[in-house]
Each structure stands twice: as structure tokens, then as C-alpha cells.
Amino acid sequence: MGDTTDIHKGAIIRHNNDLYVVTFAQFVNPGKGSAFVKTKLKSISSAKGTEITYKSGETVDVVRVDYVTMQYLYKNANNYSFMNQESFETIDVSADLLGDDVKYLKEGLEVMMATHEGMVVAMQLPKKIKYTVKDAPPAVRGDSASGNVTKEAIMDNGLSVAVPIFIKEGEDLLVNTETGEYGGRVTE
Amino acid sequence: MDQLAHLLNNKKNLELKFAILKLMREWFWTQGFTEIESPTIVELPGQEPYLSPMGVKIHNEEGEEFFGYLHTSPEYTMKKMLAAGFDKIFYLGKCFRDYESFGGTHNPEFTMCEWYRTQVDYFKIMEDTESLINYILDKLKNNFQFPISNFQSNPNDKIIKFNKITMKDLWKKYVSVDLDEYLTKGKMFELCKNFDYDPGESEEYEDLFYRIFLNEIEPKLIKPTIVYNYPAQMAALSKLAKADPRYAERFEIYINGLELANAFSELTDSGEQLKRLQEEKTLKEKLGKDVYDVDLEFIEALKNMPESAGIALGVDRLVMLFGGLQNIDNVITLPMSKLFN
């Protein structure tokens, strides 16, 4: 058991006898009554989505999960293979469960896997991931004059990110996995 | 280097915001409004039980300490000014609310536009809001590319059209309930149970109301909608509706499921206002919130305040709509999430 302060993206909630992973959580304060937390949930068994708005402070059946560090290996048909860094076992996680976050995966990346009763229920990415820019069109004259301050660049894993125009091919940079935004150059 | 990356990522969005701020001022000036200043530090902020003002300590040159709060809205100041004879005034500046999320649809420091007119009721303020938003749209379209569909209007529309509906009709339409029957805490509690919610016994009317409203109704308010006439107990600073005093002359604007503005025909009965604010203070105490006295200068001002109506509009949220953006952080120069990371 927990309350609404335990709700965050990646948390696991028991609702109507099914386990759900929180895919989106947003605080709302209408100002005229208590605050609320709006959530989008995905059923772990059926991958079906649902939306629930909780009153702030309300009891929520948050399921305790264990976190295990796993290293991403490769894509394997409709699954993604990871190595458990404690047991060195290889496990396959379905694309359905990982959702949109698979775009951030790259070989060798360490992630935290939330497990419940031995089963992987959610993946938690590092807040920022370092990539090398594989492809970035050079800035074109007039770009800044026309108000273009960013351009699309392709990272070494194929991820496309809007980056400042001064970013060049071969540079290392950080990408914020919560927003998908450019998160700064890597400063050594 | 989070702050620098944020500024680079959001330069276009910030340029859009600054253009909108300029156009807002332009619209007010062409309509004959005066921009006013309000202190942001006050001794006695609003009594809204569900808002948390931020406390500040101030010291004079002798080191004497004073305790104040950052305002959650310039409302009291502006009404004191109306009582002193100011008319058609607007404030475009910062407001502060503690215990709100860093990002999403809130930032504890945010930009508010508040304006008041005397000798009018809330219908005039509805007209103002439609006119202001369409003025911005019209002037922006030459320099910024954004689809009118961000406002969920038909792409062929030339202007943003607002659907006006009373709260009572809204409940009838979306949850098939006659709101007249659910104006007490007991009845609303039962209704929540019928909708399969599990409210606590101690929940206030507003909490119960919003359980249903936020889950069943608000997500459906996608097209620009003006919702008016709120249950009287949900509008501490507004006048009761002439036709049906169980409701108050308050309206809110929703676009794309997001609350954009809140407006009233202002309550001018100082005795009634004092009573309502004292009740709110008691509720604040019960909720374990910071408690401070009712601002008696504000109550005194109401004795001289003419009939008026006013509105508070969330400017950051308006910019989000124009920019088609989901997170308020994208329209704030340096949001809390980047300042305190």
C-alpha cells in the first residue's frame, strides 16, 4: 500500500485485481478543491491502457518491486534481450512491455528492471544517456536568421533528436530520456 | 549544463511566448486598459484553502524581521484599486503557488494575466477573453506557423470559437446527472459511490465534485469551452447568479482538456465576503495548512467597490496551446525542474 506520492512513471499499481504500470503521471491542482494526480496506466497482462485520476493523498495499492541492473544485448524478433548483471542470465522482454522507450536502447546500456515475483514488469532508463552523433546535417547559411535554432540529428543507435545547430557528427552528447530532448554536450 | 540545453531546446517556444506577451499588452492598450503593478510580497495572501502561498522573511535596515508571502494572485490588490476608483486595469506578471509540481501543467512560479472592469458582469469578461485570444491568433499568424487545430478548432475556421455551456448542462450532457440534485456534500458523496469511486468520509464538497468532474468531464472538454455558473459553495469571491442563487456567476475556460482561466462577477457584499473568507480560514486550519488572518483592508475596500467582473488567465498555458506543447517547462525561461535539479 502507498499513496499518491508513490505514483511516478514506471511505478506498479494493483487495480481491479490486475497489475498496471504507470506510463504517465501528472499533478493537477484545480485550486478550488484538493490536488489530484492524473495517470495513464497499462495492464501488464494485457498491455491495455486505462486512465485514472487520484485525489492527492489517497491510498493507492502500489506494488513493491525489486530492481535488478540489466545490460541490453540485442533485439531478438519481437523481444529485447538483456543480461541480468547479478545472475548473468539472459532474459527476453517483450516489445509490448517496453513500449516507446525501446528507442533509447543501445548495445551495452545498463537499465534498471523492476521485477515482481521474478517477472520483469517495467524498465527504468537512466535519466540521461550518452550517445555519439552518427549523422547531423551541417548548419545551412540563414538557419539562425530564419529562427531555426535546432536541427534533427541521428544518434549511433538510430535515435533522432532535435539538437542545437552547432552540434557536429562524431560528437558525444546527452539525451534526456524523460522528454526526448537534447540534454547538453558531454563535458569531460 | 541543464539550463543551457533547456534554453537552446526551447528558444523558439520562448520567442513565441515573448511575442504573445507583447500582443497581450497591445490588446489591452487598444481596449483602453491600464497596466498596473501589484506587490508580489504581501502580508495577508488569499484564503483559498487549496492554494499554498510561499512564505518569505523580510528585514528592514535595523534587522527587524517581517513575515510575508508571495502573492498567489493580485486579486486583493486589484480590488482595493477598484475601490479607490481605478477602472479597466490589468496585471501581467508573476504569481507563486507552493506545493505544485515542477513541470507538467504547473510551475510554482508562473505568469498570470488578471484584468477587471467595473459596471459589467462576467458575460463581458467572456467577450474580452474571446477577443484577446483571437487578436493574438490574428497577429501571430504572419510570423509564427502553428495550426489553428492546436485550439481544436476546425482547420478552416478563421477564428477560435468558444462553446458556452453551464456547469449544470455539462453534467447532464456527460454524466446524465441533474446537478441541482447534487448540491450538498451528502448527495455528492452518494453520487461518487454510484460512480464507483471510494471517497473518504471527511472529503469536502469540492473534492467530491472534482472526482467526477476531472475523471468524467474535463478530459472531454477538448474544443474551446466556457463553463459557467458553478455551485455557489465553489466560488468564495463571486456573486450569486440572479436567476438561481444555488449557483454563482463564475466561469472557467477549458481548451484541449486544460483549464486556462477562471473568472467571476465579483462579490461586493463585504459582510458576506468576510463570512466566506472566515469559513475558508477554518477549513485551512482543518486541512493543516498555514493559517493567517483575513485581510480586513480587502473587506473594507469592498464597501466602496463598484459592481465589477474580472478574470485570471494562465499565460504559460495559453502559450502551450499556441505552440501545441504538452509541458509548461517548454514555455518557461528556466523552470523549477531545471533550476533545482
CB contacts, 8 Å: A33 with chain B: 50, 204, 206-207, 209-210, 234
Alpha helices in chain A (DSSP H): 95-98
Q: What is the pLDDT of residues B13-37, one digit of tens each?
A: 999 999 999 999 999 999 999 999 9
* B5 contact residues in A (CB cutoff 8 A): 174, 176, 181-184
What is the rounded CA–CA span in Å between residue B231 and residue B246? 6
> Which residues, in sequence order, are CB contacts of B219 under 8 Å at separation 6+?
A51, B257
The whole-number pLDDT of residue A4 equals 87
pLDDT tens-digit map of A16-40:
888 999 988 989 888 777 888 999 9
Task: Using alpha carbons, select from A86, A76, A99, A109 the residue that is nearest to residue A24.
Answer: A99
DSSP helix/strand/coil, A132: strand
Q: What is the total residue count of chain B? A: 341
Q: Please say whether the beta carbons of B97 and B107 come within 8 A.
A: no
Cβ contact B204–A185 (<8 Å)? no
- Is the pLDDT at B330 greater than 80? The verdict is yes
Q: What is the pLDDT at residue A58?
A: 84
CB of B51 within 8 Å of a chain A CB? The answer is yes
Q: Which amino acid is residue B56, in one-letter code?
A: V
**Percent share of chain B, pLDDT over 70:** 97
Give the three-state DSSP class for B48: coil
Please answer whether residues B102 and A178 qualify as being in contact, where contact means their C-beta atoms are separated by less than 8 angstroms.
no
> In chain A, whose CA is at the least distance from the CA of B145?
A147
Tell me whether residue B41 is exposed, middle or buried, using C-beta atoms within 10 angstroms of its C-beta: 0 to 12, 13 to 18, 19 or more: middle
pLDDT over 60 (residue A69): yes
User: Which of residues 84 through 143 in chain B touch A, CB cutoff 8 A?
Assistant: 97, 99-101, 104-106
Give the model's confidence band at B262: pLDDT under 50 very low, under 70 low, under 90 confident, else very high: very high
ipTM rounded to 2 decimals: 0.79
Give residues with Cβ within 8 angstroms of B225, minimum separation 6.
Answer: B162, B163, B164, B165, B253, B254, B255
Q: How many CB atoms lie within 10 A of CB B163?
A: 11
Contact A182 B8 (CB under 8 A): yes
Query: B72 forms bridges with which residues in the sheet?
Result: none
The mean predicted confidence, pLDDT, of chain B is 93
Q: Write down the pLDDT at residue B19.
A: 95
Q: Which domains does chain B have, with CATH numbers?
A: 2-156+268-339 (3.30.930.10)
Chain B residues in contact with A187 (beta carbon < 8 A): 1
Q: Is B214 on the interface with A (CB under 8 A)?
A: yes
For each of the domains in chain A, give its residue range(s) and CATH number, in order of start: 2-60 (2.30.30.30), 67-124 (2.40.50.140), 128-185 (2.40.50.140)
- All three cell numbers of B209: 465534485
Q: Pairing relation of β-strands A90-94 and A110-116?
A: unpaired
What are the cell numbers at B278? 472566515
Tell me, what's the pLDDT at A6? 87
Strand order in the sheet with B41-42: B41-42, B65-70, B55-59
> For the segment B34-47, what is each residue's pLDDT rounded down to a tens digit?
999 999 999 999 99
| Cβ A43 vs Cβ A18: under 8 Å | yes
- Interface A-B, measured as beta-carbon pairs within 8 A, has a size of 88
Burial of B273 (0-12, 13-18, 19+ CB in 10 A): buried
Over residues A96-111, mean pLDDT: 93
Taking only the tens place, the pLDDT of each residue in B79-103 is 999 999 999 999 999 999 999 999 9
Exposure string (b/e) for A49-80, b if CB count within 10 Å is 16 or more?
eeebbbbbebebebbebeebebbbbeeeeebb
